[in-house]
Amino acid sequence: MPPSSFPPHEQSGRGLLYAIGAYGLWGFLPVYFLLIAPTGPFEIVAARILFSLIFCAVLLSVTRKWGAVLVIVRQPRLLFTMAAAGAFIYVNWQVYILAVLTGHVLEGALGYFINPIVTVLLGVLILRERLRAAQWAAVSISFVAVLVLAIGYGRFPWISLALAFSFGFYGLIKKRVGPRVDAVSGLSLETAWLVPVAVIQLVVVGVTTGLTIGTVHSLHTLLVVGSGIITAVPLLLFAGAARRLPLITLGLVQYLAPLLQFLIGAFVLNEEMPPERWVGFGLVWVALVVLTVDMIASGHAARRALPLLA
């Protein structure tokens, strides 16, 4: 039954469950990738690319939607746009897994906390959108937070910013292609473009440190293969949520993933949380509160204006 055939309240309920499922899975990704030890970050990303593509190919075959992929392939501009999306998601995946496996889960979580602010900033710089006063305040507070963290770390927080900007640009591309590219077709083409990169990484790992898949134990092999599923499923759940939920609700639920990652990094993996890191995270959370309140207020104002325009 298509989403439109469900009553509005049931659509919202399903959408909320899909959103919680998507962001919940993203939140627990650090634990999943740590369980794949001793597999290194470059082998993990290569496996993620290849097995995501296989999983998507199976879905396309089962749902008989290869035609949607062919429609995109026949449009060179759209096809190369998916290549750009693939490049940004590759950077995001590779940096994130490097962060997790080198004990920087908290920096990864910070990147996804900063991501909404980066999205707003990209809207100004690229889409020429105008910011409201509260949005400027949120961006400014986030800038101060980055400075505090940089001074506290004694180095530039490149992991956090690389994650925030790579996913921000990825989201911008997905926004521009909009309804022309569905979730499964989009991920299929993005990963297809990345297959040569995955093959090169596997060859390099194979001739240097050696590949681990199939050499540890059967559960390890299943987890490596499952990295493709754990990559694709949240994206599909997110697509289902986006069709059923207001943007404000979806925006609020998105904080679940970095919150879970923060809790795992700070209280499960016991990563260091000196005072300056608490201050930096605190400033980012303040910025997110400002941004969220402004988003809710503007949404209410827009709804109140609709009867006047009718």
Question: What does the DSSP 8-state code read for residue 74?
Answer: T
pLDDT at position 6 over 60: no
pLDDT at position 92 over 50: yes
Percent of the chain with pLDDT over 90: 50
- What value, to the nearest 5°, has the Cα angle with vertex 302 and ends 301 and 305? 85
The per-residue pLDDT for 300 is: 63
The per-residue pLDDT for 87 is: 96
The residue among 283, 275, 285 whose CA lies nearest residue 143 is 283
Per-residue pLDDT of 168-224, as tens digits, reads: 898 888 878 877 888 889 899 999 999 999 999 999 999 999 999 999 999 999 999
Band (pLDDT 50/70/90 cuts) for residue 309 is very low
Q: What is the mean pLDDT of residues 251-262?
A: 85
Residue 45 · residue 93 · CB < 8 Å: yes
The per-residue pLDDT for 55 is: 94
Distance CA 89, CA 107 (A): 18
Per-residue pLDDT of 115-146, as tens digits, reads: 888 887 887 788 777 778 888 888 888 888 88
